[in-house]
Amino acid sequence: MTERKQRLEELKADLLGRLEKYAAHQHRDAGALEADFAEQAVQRQNDEVVDGLEAEVRATLNQVNHALARIADGVGDQCESCGKPINPQRLEALPRSTLCMDCAE
C-alpha cells in the first residue's frame, strides 16, 4: 500500500513536470510571430498535438489525485463502483486504478 502511494506520488510529480513543459511550449509559441503562413500552419498543428497531450496528462493526473484521495480515506483498495477489493495485481499494474477488473470493463 505504501509502495503504491509512493508510485502514485512519483507519477504525479512526473505528470506535473510534463504539464510545465507543455505550458512553456505554448507560452513560447504564443510569443513567436511567424511571418510565413506555412510555418504558422505547422505551428498550429504542433499546438494541437501539445493540447492533446496536455489533455491526456491532465486526465491521468486527475485519476492519480483521485486514487491518492481514496488511499488517504483508507479505501484505496476498494472498487469505487461495487466496493469489492481490487485485485492487488491490477493495482500493481495500474496504481491509479480505482475500479475492479469487472467494473472497469
Decide: helix, strand or coil at residue 55. Answer: helix
| Minimum distance, C-beta of residue 7 to Zn ion, in the bound complex (Å) | 21
Nearest approach, Cβ of residue 99 and Zn ion (Å): 6
Binding site for Zn ion (CB under 5 A): 79, 81-82, 100, 103
At residue 63's C-alpha, the angle toward residues 19 and 60, to 5°, is 35
Round to whole Å and give the CA distance between 65 and 39: 38
Residue 91 or 100 with smaller CB distance to Zn ion: 100
Other beta carbons within 10 angstroms of residue 31's beta carbon come to: 7
Q: How far is the CB of 84 from Zn ion (least distance, A)?
A: 5
Q: Tell me whether residue 79 or residue 91 sits nearer to Zn ion (CB atom).
A: 79
Phi, psi dihedrals of residue 78, rounded to the nearest 5°:
-100, 140
Which lies closer to Zn ion via its Cβ, residue 19 or residue 104? 104
